[in-house]
Amino acid sequence: MADEDKEIRLTVDQIAQVAKALGLTQKNDPASTTLTAPTLHGPFHGNEAQFGIFSFPGVRPQRWSTVPTPQSMASVLGISPSQYWQEILEVMTGITKDSGTNATGWCGNPPTVGQGKVCQQVYKYGKYYVKTDLAAIPELGQFKDRADLPAEILNAVGDQRNPFIPDLFYRWSGGPSSLRYALWRIGKSLEKSLENVLISGDLTQAYTATEHGWIAEFNGLDSQIKTGYTDAVTSIACPAMDSVVVSFNAEIGGNDANGENIVEVLTDTYWGLVDRCVEFGMPGANLGLLMRKEQFRALTEVWACQYNTYRCTSTINATAAFNEDVVNTNNLRREMQRGQYILIDGIPVPVIFSEGITRDGVGANHFRSDMYIVPISWEGMPLTRMEYFPMDNADATEFANFLGSDDITTLNNGLFIAGYRHTGLCKEYLFAAKMRLILETPFLAGRLDDIRYTFRTPIRNADPNDTYFYADGGTTHRL
């Protein structure tokens, strides 16, 4: 190596060392230097007159929790990485009419057959970005006094864990772990917002109207199970892509505008989609029902009574009576509730619960929400799936580590990226992810809109915006 080259190399190394050293104290300043981190034990970082929620003297260290975990459709979805900014998919939607006339003989001019048609759809990422509160590191690890004992939540982790959320966000440990508390709160928030986006996410929504933490939402099921599909390039209508969308708009135990009850409408819709699977060369495709758990309970009560008689008619003999076995009817209701399925034409169709489905109140204990038929898979291939942008890709990793940086890491195989900002000895952590929902076969999906039902069971839902089944109370700090 020439002397001048050696000198240049040393200069670059020196610059790198200086840049890294400066980064420890000057770069990544938080948006605000006001301390906001709450605590479990010891004094609140921004106000020493306030103490952690677990710091009251004499309380048994073991506590119970009434913080619900939302039911989620994420439990049945697979997720895979993709480095493509947008996923472009095409569906063969049809063949044009044959043209020409038949030939008069072997030497004549024969007709031609039709041409294929395709419809293109584009799927883009939603962007999730949140942070912890700004915490003063020299204040961490304190207890209020000797009566302030490390706490334990006896039922901190349930069995409804969302597979897309890092395990780190679910952990709960005793002691004054401000980090565990901060990450746990992010996990609980993400559980709710992700489920809402999975159902009603809208890529065109302004960031001021998106779910908490979402710079941009991805398109959820409401944006993909629809009619009116058009080609993404030409805007030409693609009715072959359309889902089956039915406006039931009636009580779950009543009839719609066509005089059909819920069993008739759901059975016809499901049968039609199963028939599409056969016609399109996909027999045996796995279709599931997606609904709120309270709607499922109301549906089983009606279904058990109507299932065996819904196609019966008494027009032949107006005085004919339909006899129903009450014991078998009640057994069917219990079996469907225990097995979490709906029996359609003798086939037990699995039911998936989601608290992200919009539920409107229409009166006392009276609600309205939609019900979905979702294609899950066919011959091991997912038909409804999630994709995420891998934050640990080689390009991003090379750039982040150019100066030997240790302020960036990734979680869940690159699904989440984590970094931090700090000022002096105060620090906050940031988390980001990009993901999207892809419904590969919207033409195998369906939705029944505006099903009204009565529900009185005192359940609990996880969303604080739920004015019917959410409850909390208590205090966010102790004095």
Q: Tell me what pLDDT residue 21 has.
A: 46
Query: What does pLDDT average to over the chain?
Result: 86
Q: Tell me what pLDDT residue 7 has.
A: 46
The distance in angstroms from the start CA to the end CA of the chain is 67
- Domains of the chain, by residue range, sit at 22-94+114-301+364-479
Q: Read off the pLDDT band of 449 (50, 70, 90).
A: very high
Q: Tell me what pLDDT residue 157 has.
A: 65
DSSP state letters, 86-152? EEEEEEEEEEPPPBS---SSTTS---B---EEEEEEEEE-EEEEEEPPPEEGGGTT--SSTT-PPPE
Give the residue from 124, 128, 129, 130 showing the smallest Cα distance to 203.
124
What is the Rg, in whole angstroms, of the alpha carbon atoms belonging to the chain?
29
User: What's the one-letter identity of residue 29?
Assistant: D
Task: Please provide residue 262's backbone torsions phi and psi, each rounded to the nearest 5 degrees.
Answer: -65, -35
pLDDT by residue (tens digit) across 57-74? 888 988 888 888 888 888
Q: Tell me what pLDDT residue 17 has.
A: 52
Q: Which residue has the higher pLDDT, 418 or 33?
A: 418
Mean pLDDT value across residues 140-151? 84
Per the CB < 8 A criterion, the answer to whether 475 and 53 are in contact is: yes
pLDDT of 144 > 70? The answer is yes
Q: Read off the pLDDT band of 6 (50, 70, 90).
A: very low
